[in-house]
Each structure stands twice: as structure tokens, then as C-alpha cells.
A and B are shown apart, each in its own frame.
Chain A
Amino acid sequence: MRLAGLIIAAFTGTVLLYSTVDFPAWGDPASPAGTHVSPHYLERGLEETSVPNIVTAVLADYRSFDTMFEATVIFAAGAVCVILLRIFGVHTRDRYYRHLLTGVTIHVIGDRKIPEDSEVFERIDALWVPHDVIISTISRILIPFIQLFALYVLAHGHHSPGGGFQGGVILGASVILMAISTNLRVSLERVGERTVALLAALGLLIYAGTGVLCMLSGGNYLDYGALAEWLPVDPVAARSLGILLVEIGVGVTVSATMIAIYRNLASSGRMDEGL
């Protein structure tokens, strides 16, 4: 298998290398990729959408159908992770508790437990390592700023590198950091499983709903210019606002999906203890 793999990879690589002779040279401004539709985006994008970041304009306006189904793919991936891994109701693991005053660890066999709000005992993971004070403190200080930065990246995507996908991933990462620096239960208390599932669907609803809103205003699906009827702005500025709306939808879906994928993988679907 090893030799066969090497031969196949070497053969495919050689064929691909041979084909590079016909490819445009590195940094060629007249390459086919940069000639047909891309100059139009660059030269007319600002006046057509009033968004200086052309990547955002192309992503959420010119190619908004594409982006909607990309968001759908992400939602589907998150749903598949939940369907494959999530186990409801079956309790198969023993629980471990730590006595806070003495540090003694208690192993509780079977489906018995000490109340979660107990002030004397603290639930710990089976593979528990003592909390590092530095890590948990720094994470606690950093998480609000990470979330604020995520919102900035999302909302400022029109004028700087950023947008819904990036902001959503950063927002999801902040909740994942919460789970890594303390434990999964703390992050589940803050952002519940049901909330995550609802948010993932809500993001797509915002995206698709924006398209329907455009239709109700008399335009085509996802033709944000029609939103000017509802908003006190001209059609070009309405495009920029429509882009912001769908970016928010994408951000919500992406962040919720990242959290769901992480939680299901880390706890193999049991949602009680993980990394």
C-alpha cells in the first residue's frame, strides 16, 4: 500500500507539474483569473454596493447565493456531528467529585450523584488535571475581549478584513476556550446546548429571511437594493446594510456550529465531560 501510494502520488504530482507550463506566471496581472469578472468587481464594486472591502461585497452580494449554501453546508456539518455522536439520557460513566476542603477525590459508581449545587463537593472530569490558576484567570479576562473582537470583525467587515465567517469562528472559539480552560459543564451553563442549536438555525433564517424581505420589497431574492423601500437610505447604501444583515446571519450560524462540533467531539456526544 505504501509503495502503491508513493507511485500514485509521484505520478499525479509529475502530471500536475508538467501542466504548470501552461499556467500563468506568478503575479501576472493579465492571468485568466484576473481578467474577466474580477476587474468589474474592483472598479465598480464600491459604487454598486458602497462597500470598500471588495471581498465582502463579492461574498455577500455578487455571490450571495453561493454564500447562503456555504452556510447551509456548515449547518449541515454541525447537524451531522450531533446526529452521529450525541447520546441522550444514557449514563455510562462513573462520576468523580473532589472534596473542596481536603482535596480528596471521590469515585461514585453507577448512576448516583451528589447534587450539582453542593458547596462541599465539586464535580471533576475523569481525566482531571488540577486547574492552572494562570490559565483560568487569563482566559477569564481574555474571553470578553475575544468576544468583543469577534463582534468588531463581524461588523467592521465592510471596511477591513473580516466578515461573518471570521467573526463567527472567533466568537465560537471564545466559548471553546471557556470549555478548555475550565471544563465543559461551565461552558454548557453559559451557552446551553439548546441555545446553540437554535442559534445555528436562526443564523440561516436571518440569511434566508433577508432574501425573502428583498422579495417582499419588490426586488429579486437577495437583491438588497430593494430594501431601500423600508430603510431611510438610497438603494446603494441599502446594499451595504443588506450585506451586514446576511453577514450577521452567517456569523451566528458559524459560531454556533463550531461550538456544537467541538462539544460533541470533545465529550463523544455525552456532554458531561471533555477536554
Chain B
Amino acid sequence: MQDLLQLIAARYNYWLYIVLMMVGFYAMIAKNNLVKKIAGMSIFQTAIILFYISIGYKKDATIPILMHAPDGAHHAVHAADYVNPLPHVLMLTAIVVSVSTLGVALALAVKVYQSYGTLEEDEIRERMREENASQE
């Protein structure tokens, strides 16, 4: 038990992101409403962003903006003093791309609502079946 607690305490960032990611994953699979599925996708993406940011963290480090004197002179930089900038860069673009994918997903949901009059998955499936039956 003691070991397990220590294990969780040393890596609680992963536990948090996995729990959050599974919440989004479950919503994408099990929810019936398309907008709720899209919200689940958004939570999933946020979990990935948290994961990346947390692996870039270093203990007692500051943000990766170098401190420099006003006259332009700068001192030696130790990488251990600044958090890893790479995950920040990747997630900076991922946030904007996730907003864009959210926009496209919502646009598709609007189109689905316009043609079927509902966003509930089972009702959409029923209407599609009715349309197929009336065509035959």
C-alpha cells in the first residue's frame, strides 16, 4: 500500500491525465448526443495537452523565457533552470488546431441537424432507416 501511494505521488500527473482522457473517451463512445460526443473529444484533447505540458516540467524550473540584462549582455544558461520548451511549442499549435477541429465538428453537427432535425444518434439512425425503406 505504501509503495502504491508513493508510486501515485511520484507520477500523479499521469494519473490525472489518464482519468481525464478516459472521461472524454467514454463520452465519445457512450453518449448518444452528437454535441456531447464533440465535448468528449474536446476533453480528450485537453487531457493530451495536459500530458505534454506535464512531461515538460522540471522541478524548481521557470518558464522558458531567458532572463537577460537590458544592455543585451547575457549570462550562461543552464537547461535545468528552465522548463522544456518543446512540449509548449507542440501544444501551442495543438490548442489552435483543436479549436479548428471543434469548429469543423460543430459545422458537421449543424449539417446533420439540418437534414435530420435531431442530434440524437439513435433517432438519426431511425430516420436513415425510414428513408431507405421509403426509397425501396
Contacts and interface: CB of A to CB of B under 8 A. Distances in A.
A169 B7 CA distance: 39
B38 to A, nearest CB: 12
Contacts of A4: 29-30
A265 B11 contact: no
B15 to A, nearest CB: 7
Contacts of B29: 1, 4-5, 8-9
B10 interface: yes
Give the interface SS of chain A, mostly helix, strand, loop or mixed.
helix
A259 B19 CA distance: 33
| A interface bracket (residues with beta carbon within 8 Å of B) | 35 or more
B92 interface: yes
A161 B103 CA distance: 25
A5 to B, nearest CB: 3
A24 interface: yes
B89 A13 contact: no
| B interface bracket (residues with beta carbon within 8 Å of A) | 35 or more
Contact of B7 (A8, A21, A29, A80): A21
Give the interface SS of chain B, mostly helix, strand, loop or mixed.
helix
B128 interface: no
B119 interface: no
Given A46-B74, A85-B111, A34 B96 contact: no
A237 B134 CA distance: 69
Interface of A: 1-2, 4-6, 8-10, 12-13, 16-17, 20-21, 23-29, 31, 33-34, 37-39, 41-43, 45-46, 52-55, 58-59, 63, 66-67, 70, 73-74, 77-78, 80-81, 84-85, 159-161, 163, 165-166, 169, 254, 257-258, 261, 264-265, 268-269
Given A16-B21, A77-B104, 8 more contacts: A1-B32, A5-B29, A34-B56, A42-B82, A52-B67, A70-B93, A84-B104, A85-B111
